[in-house]
Structure 1
């Protein structure tokens, strides 16, 4: 169970702070909900049942895990699937898994493909660009929070790692 003031990771919403715990009634019986404030979109208030069976709320990654995630960017890109639909289904599955290392490797692949295409004056397909932007915003924010830096610094560090490898 989390407490008021805790900072948590909440699936696709990224980093959130627990502002309150209140009884709410959303279409059924009243139950306790965490009242969450998104760090990514501060005007967004989220409600999550305290006793949810398959809770999407997770503790922030540890410093050791954050360093392991950054090391993923030293890896070669995964093989590129030219079938857009298959590639995006795979990416959605990775995102839903909320596995930091898997998401980092997917991001690594997308960033390396983007650089490869830019080198020949081409662009990453729009759907891939959209996935890359949404995933990096959330991943870099969690890394920055854990490592006590900024998302911009994380972005610079990732770019540096990729350029060196």
Structure 2
């Protein structure tokens, strides 16, 4: 069980802080929900408490693991299908896991592919969403602003681009 003030990750949505617990009646059934506030966009999300395990809610990574995430971002692009449909499905599965290292891998691979060949509209949207999920957790793990985290990620890919020139 999580408590108010805990920093958690909601797969497919990103990381946030539990700001409360509320009871709501939905379709005639009263359930308890965590109210999670995301650090980006001031959005609030209601998470049903009765299936937290099924959803894959987990604690935000600690500061020691942050460097590992940046290592993944700085790594070589991993093998991806040339077929955009298969690539999209594979990336969707990785994002659904809620594992920050899988999410970082998708951000890295799509960013590098975008620099090389460009991305389809669907993959651009996926990259944007995935990057937001990644940034939301790093903001909470490092206790830095969204802008600082975005800049650190951008610097990795600027270096990649310069190395290729």
TM-score tier by shorter-chain length is 0.7 to 0.9
1:83 maps to what in 2?
A: 83
- Is 1:111 aligned to residue 111 of structure 2? yes
1:58 maps to what in 2?
A: 58
* CA–CA separation in structure 1 for the residues paired with 2:93 and 2:127: 14
Gaps of 5+ in 2: 161-165
* Contact 2:5 2:18 (8 Å CA) reproduced: yes
* CA–CA separation in structure 2 for the residues paired with 1:124 and 1:78: 16
* Contact 2:31 2:48 (8 Å CA) reproduced: no
How many residue pairs are counted as aligned between the two chains?
160
Residues 160 and 45 (structure 1), Cα distance of their counterparts in 2 relative to 1, 3 Å cut: closer
1:129 maps to what in 2?
A: 124
- Is 1:6 aligned to residue 6 of structure 2? yes
* Contact 2:23 2:30 (8 Å CA) reproduced: yes
- Is 1:26 aligned to residue 26 of structure 2? yes
Which residue among 131, 144, 147 is the counterpart of 2:142?
A: 147
* CA–CA separation in structure 2 for the residues paired with 1:73 and 1:37: 26
Residues 158 and 41 (structure 1), Cα distance of their counterparts in 2 relative to 1, 3 Å cut: closer
Q: Which moved more, 1:11-20 or 1:68-77?
A: 11-20
Gaps of 5+ in 1: 118-122
Structure 2 counterpart SS, 1:12: coil
Instruction: Give how far 1:53 is off.
Output: 4.2
1:73 maps to what in 2?
A: 73
Q: TM-score, normalised on structure 2?
A: 0.83
* CA–CA separation in structure 1 for the residues paired with 2:61 and 2:110: 22
Instruction: Give how far 1:51 is off.
Output: 5.8
* CA–CA separation in structure 2 for the residues paired with 1:162 and 1:43: 28
Q: TM-score, normalised on structure 1?
A: 0.83
